[in-house]
Structure 1
Amino acid sequence: MPSNLYKRGAVWWARIQAGGAEHRRSLRTSDRKEAQRRLDQLKKEITAAVHFGESRLTWKAAVVRYLTEVGPDAVKPGTLKRYTVSLGQVGPHLEALYVDQITRKTISTLVSARSKGGASNATINRDLTAVSAVLGAAVEWGACEANPARDYNRRLTRERRESIHPPSSADVEAVITRCPGLFASMIRFLAQTGCRQEEAAGLTWGQVNLKAGTVTFLKTKTSRPRTIRLEPETVAMLTALPHFLGSDAVFWHGKGSRYLNVSSRFREMVRSAQKSAQRVGTPFRPFRCHDLRHGFAIRALRDGWDIYALSKHLGHSSVKTTEIYLGYVPARAGTKTGTSITVSPGLHPQETAKSAS
C-alpha cells in the first residue's frame, strides 16, 4: 500500500509531502480506486498551490484578466476582437481547467475537437494564437510554467490557400443595387479602390483630398499610414456624397454613425441578390466582401500595373503577398519593361513608367 494513502476506520486518507510540509486530508471515500483517483488530483492541487500560490488561476479567470488588463494595450482593437471570438469558441474545451493543467496533450485534443467540429485550419490557427496570448500572460503572472499553445507544431494545421474567384462586374452591381443608403457607396468604393473594408468603413473626410484625388488611410493592418490615388470615377462619386452635420464619417447612416459589422451586412445583401437571381433565372455567383479586394488586384495587374505599385497601393507588408495574384493574370502582367520598383503608393502604370524615366 502506498505510504501516502492510508485508512482511518473505513475512510481513506491522503498523506502528501510538498514544499517541506506534510499535508493530510480525508478523501471521503471507502472505495480504493476512487481514493486513488482523488489522491492523484489532490497531489496536483497541492503541488500547484506550493509552486504557484494558494489561489490557482482558472482558464476562465485568465481569459477575463487578459481581455481586460493585457489585451487592450498589447494588441490592436481588431486583433483583440478576433481573440475574443476565438476564446469564446475554445471556452467549452478549457473552461473546466486551471491554466497549469493545460498541457501539450490538452492543446492537441483541442485542435482535434475543433477540426472535427468543422473549423478550418486557418480558424484553428487563429484560436491557437489567442490561447497562446492568454497562456503567455499567465506564465508572466506566475500562474503556470509553460505555454503549450505557443509550442504546438503549426505544420499540423498548415493552411491551404483557397482559389481566388473575383466577382464579375454584373454580380457586384447586383449586390450594390440592394445596399441601402451610403452602404452602397461604400461597397462601390471598396470595389474601385481595393482597400480593406475597415479602411473604408472608418474613412473620414479629413483623410480625403478631392482636389488631389487621393485618400490617406491612417489606421491600417500594418500600422503604417498610406496614401492611394483615386480613379476619376471614384473622385466623382465621393464629391457627390452628402455630408452629415456633426459627423466626419464619409460613409454614414442614421445620425451620422459609421457602418459597423460590414461583413454580416454585406452577406445579407449577397443573399438577397442570390434569391432574386434564382427567381428570374439569372446567373449569379455569391462572393465575400473581401473578394472585392481580390478583384481589384487582379484587374489592376491585367491593366498593366507594376506589381510593386500594386503592393504599396494595397498596403501589403511584402510584395510576396501581392505575387499570389500573378497566377490569375497573363505571364507578363505586372512586370512591364521599364517600370520602377521604387514607386509611390497607388501609382498607375503610366505614372510608374514616367517615374522610371
Structure 2
Amino acid sequence: MSNLYTRSEIYWARFKVRGIEYRHSLRTRSKSVAEKRLKALRQSIEDQALFGATGPVSWQDAVVSWNEHIARSISASTCTRYISSLGQIRTWLDNKSVQEIDGAVLRDLVKGRQRHGVTNATIRRDLTAIASVLAHCVDEGWVEENAAQAFNRKRVPERRDPILLPTDDDVAYTIGREATRFGDMMLLARETGMRQEEIAGLEHSSVDIKAQTITFIGKRRKLRSIPLSPVAVELISRQPRFLKCQFVFWHMDEDAEGKPIASRYRNVSSNFGDYTERAAARAAKTDVPYRRFRFHDLRHLFAVDYLRTGKGGIYDLQRILGHTTITTTEVYLDYLTPEQAQAARTGVAQKGAQKRRSGTDD
C-alpha cells in the first residue's frame, strides 16, 4: 500500500508506527515535495514513539546535565569517583542516546571492560555511576526506566582479595622516625578504623575531646559517632591549628593570589604510596623485613584488634565502622580464635579490655 494518496489534488501521508495508523495532510500538490515531507514526518513520529516526546538526548548531554545537579545529593569524593568511572566507559556510551542504553548495551560494555582486564569490582563501580546518570534521566523525563539499576549484577560478581594485615612494625616503619602530620593521619586510622577520606576531611567541630568521640557524616551520608581511645585523643590534640582552617589535618597551599593558606588533604592515596615506596626502599637497603600495604588496611587492622582484644562485640564494631550489613563486618571473625569469635558474636567484652578502655590497670 502506498504511503501517499491525494485528496482534491493535495498529497496526504498514511503509515503505521508500532501498530498505530497516522494520516496527515502534506499540504502540497508536488509529489517530490510530498515524499520529502512524508519522510520527515514519519521520522519525527518514530522518534517520539521510541524516545518520548522530548526526542533523543545524547549520553554526553545527559552526563553534563547530571554533573550540574549531582553535587547537591552526593559527597565530593563520591562525585569524583563517579566522574572517573564515566570517563573510562566513554567508548561504549558516547555515541548513544540515553534512550538507547538498555540491557544489551550494558552487557556489551561489561564484556568490553572484562576483555580489557578490568576487575569486576571496578565494573560494578562503573555500573553504579551509570545508574546515577540514568536516575537523573528518569527524573528529567528522558527515559522511563533505569537500565543500569535493573542490570543483573550477578553477572559481575565481586571477588574480594584476602585481607593481609600489616604488622605494627610495618606501620611504624612506614611512618618513619620523625613524627609528621600525615603520619598522625595513619595512626588515627589505626586507632579509630576511619577511612582515609574521613580523616582527611575531619573538622574540629566534629571532635568532642571531653566526651572522647568523633561525630560526622560518613559513607552513604550516614551519621557516625565513634569512640576515641586515649591515643587517638592525643593524636588529634597535638595537631597545630591554622587560622580559619576547619580541618584537623591540613597542608600548606596557596590561594589565587599566591598567599599561603591551609587546605584539606586532597591526595591521600598518592601521599601514602610515596610513604610506602620510600619505606620499601629503606627496608631493601638495610635488609629489614617489610611488606607494603594500603591505607585501608589500617582500618582492617583496627577492626581485628578491636575484636581480638575484646573491646566490644561484632555489632559494636559494625556501628563504629559504619557497615550497612553485619555480613561485611563478620569477615573479621576469620582472624580470631574460636573463643575470641564467640565472645565477639555475643558482644561480651573481656574484663581486661574493659579496664584498658576506662584507663585503669589490673
TM range (shorter): 0.7 to 0.9
* Cα deviation, residue 164, structure 1: 0.5
The answer to whether the 8 A contact 1:59-1:95 is kept is yes
The answer to whether the 8 A contact 1:48-1:100 is kept is no
Query: In 2, distance between residues paired with 1:241 and 1:274?
Result: 27
The answer to whether the 8 A contact 2:59-2:93 is kept is yes
Query: In 2, distance between residues paired with 1:45 and 1:276?
Result: 69
Query: In 1, distance between residues paired with 2:116 and 2:344?
Result: 50
The answer to whether the 8 A contact 1:274-1:284 is kept is yes
* Over 6 Å off, 4+ runs: 42-45, 351-354
Query: In 2, distance between residues paired with 1:222 and 1:340?
Result: 26
Confirm whether residue 82 of structure 1 aligns to residue 81 of structure 2. yes
**Paired residue for 1:350?**
354
| Equivalent position to 1:251, from 240, 245, 249 | 249
**Paired residue for 1:284?**
290
Instruction: Kindly provide the CA deviation profile for residues 292-340 of structure 1, in whole angstroms up to 9, marking residues without a partner as x.
Output: 0001111122112322222222222333321110011111215439965
Instruction: Kindly provide the CA deviation profile for residues 133-161 of structure 1, in whole angstroms up to 9, marking residues without a partner as x.
Output: 22233234333344322222111101112
Confirm whether residue 316 of structure 1 aligns to residue 320 of structure 2. no
What percentage of residue pairs aligned between the two structures are identical? 36
**Paired residue for 1:67?**
67
Structure 1: which amino acid aligns with 2:58?
T
In structure 1, stretches of 5+ residues that fail to align are 5-14, 27-38
Query: In 2, distance between residues paired with 1:272 and 1:44?
Result: 63
Structure 2: which amino acid aligns with 1:63?
V
Query: In 2, distance between residues paired with 1:127 and 1:24?
Result: 45
Query: In 2, distance between residues paired with 1:337 and 1:265?
Result: 35
* Cα deviation, residue 54, structure 1: 6.3
SS in 2 for 1:244: coil
**Paired residue for 1:237?**
235
The answer to whether the 8 A contact 2:59-2:94 is kept is yes
**Paired residue for 1:262?**
268
**Paired residue for 2:30?**
none
Structure 2: which amino acid aligns with 1:104?
G
The answer to whether the 8 A contact 1:309-1:348 is kept is no
In structure 2, stretches of 5+ residues that fail to align are 4-13, 25-33, 253-260
* Cα deviation, residue 251, structure 1: 1.0
**Paired residue for 2:95?**
96
Q: Structure 1 residues 189-198 or 49-58, which shifts more?
A: 49-58
Aligned length: 325
Change (3 A) 1:92 1:331: same
Q: Structure 1 residues 92-101 or 277-286, which shifts more?
A: 277-286
Structure 1: which amino acid aligns with 2:60?
K
**Paired residue for 2:118?**
119
Instruction: Kindly provide the CA deviation profile for residues 85-142 of structure 1, in whole angstroms up to 9, marking residues without a partner as x.
Output: 1111111211011112223211100000111112111111111121122223323433
Q: Structure 1 residues 300-309 or 125-134, which shifts more?
A: 300-309
* Cα deviation, residue 83, structure 1: 1.6
Instruction: Kindly provide the CA deviation profile for residues 224-268 of structure 1, in whole angstroms up to 9, marking residues without a partner as x.
Output: 433333222232333332222222321111132221121222122
Change (3 A) 1:249 1:165: same
The answer to whether the 8 A contact 2:57-2:142 is kept is yes
Q: Structure 1 residues 201-210 or 289-298, which shifts more?
A: 201-210
Give me the TM-score of the superposition, normalised by structure 2: 0.78
Instruction: Kindly provide the CA deviation profile for residues 19-42 of structure 1, in whole angstroms up to 9, marking residues without a partner as x.
Output: 82578459xxxxxxxxxxxx9xx9
**Paired residue for 1:208?**
207
SS in 2 for 1:127: helix
The answer to whether the 8 A contact 1:175-1:273 is kept is yes
